[in-house]
Every structure is written in structure tokens, then in C-alpha cells.
Amino acid sequence: MNHSLLSRRQWLALAAVPPLSAAAAAAEPRLALVLSLQAYAQELGPLEATHRDAELVGQALQELNFKVLAHQDLSLRQLEAVTASWLDALKAAGPAAVGFLYFSGHCWADARAKRNYLVANETLPQAREILRKEGLGPAHLHSIQAALPRVGLPLRRVTHALNALRNQANFVVIDSHLDAPEPELLAGPAGTREIATNAMLVARGRPGVPAHDDNAFSSALADALRSPGLEAQAVFKQVQMRVAESTKGRQLPWIEDRLVRPYAFRPGRAEPAVGSTGRRVALVIGNAHYRHAGLLFNPGNDARAIAKALRGMGFAAVHEHMNLERQAFRTALSQFQAQASEAELALIYYAGHGLESAGRNFLVPIDAQVLSDEQLEEETIPVAQVLDHLAGVKQARILILDACRENPFPGAQGSRSSAGLAEMEARPGTLIALAADPGQPSYDGEGEHSPYAEALLKHLGERQLDARLMFGRVYESLNARMQGRQEAWIQAKLSGRPVYLNP
């Protein structure tokens, strides 16, 4: 077990980074505690990425004039001691101080008490003995809950102590998921709720959504902390954006924000969000009345509802088309290309039949009749060509495909799969959203809208919400309704600036 500070190589990396300024450090004491627990006993589940997490975040905090105290692989007694020492230092620094706790490791909850614990690196014999005394089997989440008070530090012990300090601002960042919400996040003495403390709690995953053992969150956090001109809320929104992008919308970091006044880690001027000032345009197509493929019921309803929502969000132009034949489809794309080249943000939404062949995706006009794979190029619209029509957009391109409800031409299978679209690689500045995972069919639905369109309409109009986060919420809503039978998918390559569909 290694319970020392960071390695010599890591400390040299930290020391080589110039701070913002000595004057800033003196005026506003910044104290950070960076904890990475990785060498867990086998029963608790060893990790691989946490020490690198600490190195990335520690370097960024050092640049921001934080005095960084970094520890690895602590026992419970050591974890309690270093946390208490950091809290004492914050108290001594006075009301102008800013505290930052970063923890990368296991965070589990006692389901009965709904209390999260930062799990310490207890040795293998100790962990076995704890489990034996509790009469528990192999250490999965449900089997170690009773042992948590003996192997973990209650998270609320930290948040309650920070509440009593009343520093300028405090941040508790957990690079793990929380198994349970923290209902008494900032509860004061005797359970009172005191909201005056400036504090923010951030976790890599929402309560109950498992986190991955990789460096995606720490990398996103380190980059966002360095961004000039961003207030703390914007910093952690940027972290949300990046994690949503890297997990294809399936993990959204969770934020409990109790900051009562603005706080910026690094002064400067932030770039405006994409879509907040420039022109936004959209092309919406709903194909349902097919002549040679199966009829669909909801694409028209879906497309009209999406177009109405986009107009209500202030899009400068929304081109709405229903039941397009091949030539009309191509004409609509060409006309939209001229509009999109003058726009900061352009969006295309398509509802209807789609199919995949040899790893390529195609959209199906209502008059298409495909008897062999050789006819695909002539009878359908390759998705790659659709993306070509967005090439001139200045900042952000959004392509939404609520397609592939079924194979529309089952009698001419050829090299085509029976269900689903193929995975696509987004081009720079582009976000591609599919109604279902690659290889998975989407459903037309029995109500007024398809399940995907219903989830999309629920979140599309949310104000000042980055597109990556919006599609992450669509994923959550669709997954909750369909119970895993249909899972939305995104692939994004957008800039670090937020991309607002509805600023």
C-alpha cells in the first residue's frame, strides 16, 4: 500500500507549472485536497485510472494557485486524518479561502441510510475480516453495505464541515458516481438546512448510474478549469458536455449547486456559446406514405411537431417537408445548403425509413423501390451526401435520424442488415443523433409520436442547454420508457464552447 504524496514525477510536473500570480494567491487562499485511491483489495474492486486522474486535476489546480495536497491509496484512518487536516487548514485560512476536494476512487452508499461513503484502501485481510464478521459473501455493492462505516468516510461528514466554515467557495468533486442522492448535502447543526454557504458538489455519474474507470472525467475537468472567463457553473457544465460526448450521451455528470454568488477559477473573457448570437436554420423531413415499402404512421406527426418546436425556439428558418420523392428530397437538400452556408448552426431532422448496407447508411424517399443493392445509390439518399450539404455551416451541424424502424425492402436483403443503421463517425463540428443504437431498430410507436420523437420533444426546447447534454437527457428519457429495448445514440465532435439549440 502506498499512502505517500504523489510520485516524484507527478510532483515535478506540478511544480513546473507557473501559477496565475502570487498576488492573487495571497488575496484568496486556495487549498485543494486531491485523493486517488486505486489499489483496492480484490473484494472491493481494484481500479486502474485514478492516479492519472489525480495528476491531471492536480496540475490544473496548481496552475490556478491552489496549494495542492495530494495523497494516494489511504486506509480509512489516513483518509480521515488528511481530510480533517485539510478542513482545519481551510478554517485557519479565513472567510476569503476557497476549498477544492477531488476524490477519484470507489464511492458506495448504504442503501438503508441513503448515505454515500468515500471508500478507503483497506488491506485484503482487513477487508476479508470485515466481510466475515458481517456474514457477507463476495464484495459487490449489496454485500458490503453493512461494512461501509468500517471501510469508508461518510461524504456528508465533509459537506457538513464545509458548511460550518463559511468560506468564499467550496467544491467537492467525486470522480465516481453517487449510489444515493445527498438529501442533507449542506445540513447544518441538528439537521438544519443552511443555504448560505457557497458550495458545489459534483459527481461523475448521476445517483445510481455507474461510472467508468477511465480518465474522461478528469481530462474534461482539467481542461474546463483552465478555461478563462468561465464561472464555476459554466466550468462544470463544460465538464458535463465533454463527458456526455465521450460516452455518447449515456453519462451526465451530476451537479448539486449551492453557490450563492458567482465564482471564477480563472479571470478572462469567455467565448459566447454557439447558437447564442448567430443565425440558426433547420430542415425537417417526415416520410410516411411509402409506395413500395411499409407504411409508417408517425413520421408526419413527428416532423411537424419538431418543426413547430424549432420555430418556437427562434430558428430563423425552418424548412418543413412531408413525403418527399427522390428528386424532391435532393432538391430540398440543395436549397437548404444555400441557407446553411450562411448560418452559425444548422440542423436536419429526418423521420422515416432508413437502411444500412456494407457499413453505409441510406435514407429512403417515398417512391424508392430497391430490388438489389446495386439500386441503392439511385433509389435512396446516402447519409454521407446529407452531411455534405452541411459542410458550409460556420460552427455547428446537427443531424438527427429517427429512422430504421424496420428493413423496408426485406425481399432484397443482399449485404444489408435486417435492422438498424450502421455506426457513423462524426465530422469535425458535427453531432449525429440516432434514434437507436447502431444495429438496433427504432420503433414507430402506437401513440401520436414515435418513442424517440416523444423523448426529443420533451427536452428539445430546454433553454441554454448544450446539445450534448440535451441528447443525453433524451437518452435517459427514452431508456426509461423503453426499458432498454431502444437506446438513443450520439456521436459528436464539437468545440469546447456550448452549443445551444435554444439560447
pLDDT at 224: 94
pLDDT at 447: 83
Three-class DSSP labels, 148-167: HHHHEEEHHHHHHHHHHHCC
Residues forming CATH 3.40.50.1460 domain(s) in the chain = 8-17+29-257, 280-493
The cell numbers describing 310, all together, are: 424549432
d(CA 363, CA 287): 10
Angle at 347 between CA 307 and CA 361, to 5 degrees: 105
**What's the CATH number for 280-493?**
3.40.50.1460
Sequence-separated (6 or more) residues with CB below 8 Å from residue 47: 37, 38, 40, 105, 106, 213
Q: Which helix (H) or strand (E) holds 346?
A: strand 345-352
**Number of Cα atoms under 13 Å in the Cβ half of residue 309:** 21
The cell numbers describing 77, all together, are: 484512518
The amino acid occupying position 196 is A
d(CA 357, CA 400): 19
d(CA 186, CA 207): 17
d(CA 139, CA 148): 11
How far does the chain reach from its first CA to its final CA, in angstroms?
50
Render pLDDT for 447-492 as a digit per residue (tens, 0 to 9): 899 999 999 999 999 999 999 999 999 999 999 999 889 999 999 9
CA-to-CA dists, residue 127 to 120, 121, 163, 169, 178, angstroms: 10, 9, 32, 36, 22
Q: Are strands 396-403 and 345-352 parallel, antiparallel or unpaired?
A: parallel
Q: What is the DSSP letter of 231?
A: B
- Asked if residue 202 lies in contact with residue 173, where contact means CB atoms within 8 angstroms, the answer is yes
pLDDT at 3: 38
Q: What are phi and psi of 83, to 5 degrees?
A: -65, -45
Specify whether the backbone of 484 is left (phi greater than 0), alpha (psi in -120 to 50) or beta.
left
Which residues of the chain register pLDDT less than 70?
Answer: 1-26, 43, 111, 113, 123-146, 181-197, 405-407, 410-418
**What's the CATH number for 8-17+29-257?**
3.40.50.1460
pLDDT at 45: 79
Q: What are phi and psi of 347, to 5 degrees?
A: -130, 135
Alpha helices in 360-461 (DSSP H): 376-379, 383-388, 451-459
From 427, 446, 448, select the one nearest 492 (Cα to Cα): 427
Render pLDDT for 230-288 as a digit per residue (tens, 0 to 9): 899 999 999 999 999 998 888 889 898 888 788 999 988 778 889 988 999 999 999 99
Provide the 10 A C-beta neighbour count for residue 423. 16
Sequence-separated (6 or more) residues with CB below 8 Å from residue 454: 445, 447, 481
The cell numbers describing 182, all together, are: 445527498
pLDDT at 362: 93
Q: Which helix (H) or strand (E) holds 31?
A: strand 30-36
The pTM for the full model equals 0.78
Question: Hey, is 71 helix, strand or coil?
Answer: strand
